[in-house]
Amino acid sequence: MAEYLQVATATETRDDAVKLAQSVVAARLAAGAQIVGPVASVFWHQGEFGTGEEWQLLLKTRADRYAALEAHLLERHPWKNPEVSAVPLTGAEGYLRWIARTTQQDGD
């Protein structure tokens, strides 16, 4: 697995996205969050085809913090079965050091 990840989820409202972002970053599960939206979504949900608007939340974290970040999002997300996905993240060395430093737990 990659050392760093960009984790994505989405919410129905901007306020929900901000609340999730604040809780994740305050807990040092992600170094930072970007909220993008509204974005248009096209999907299948509960056997029905749908479209709608969502607010996308992009989080930068270390791979070893992913399990805790996923659990945090699933526990606090307003949806019962939200998207929580991750892709490997590469970048400038200083940026990656910032992610590593910012997501340290006590005792790291």
pLDDT attached to residue 108: 60
In this prediction, residues 62-76 reach a mean pLDDT of 97
Residues 6 and 72: their CA atoms lie apart, in Å, by: 15
* CB-count burial class (<10 Å; 0-12, 13-18, 19+) for 31: buried
Topology, domain 4-102: Alpha-Beta Plaits (3.30.70)
Q: Using one digit for the tens of pLDDT, what is the confidence trace for 9-34?
A: 999 999 999 999 999 999 999 999 99
Write down the domain spans for the chain: 4-102
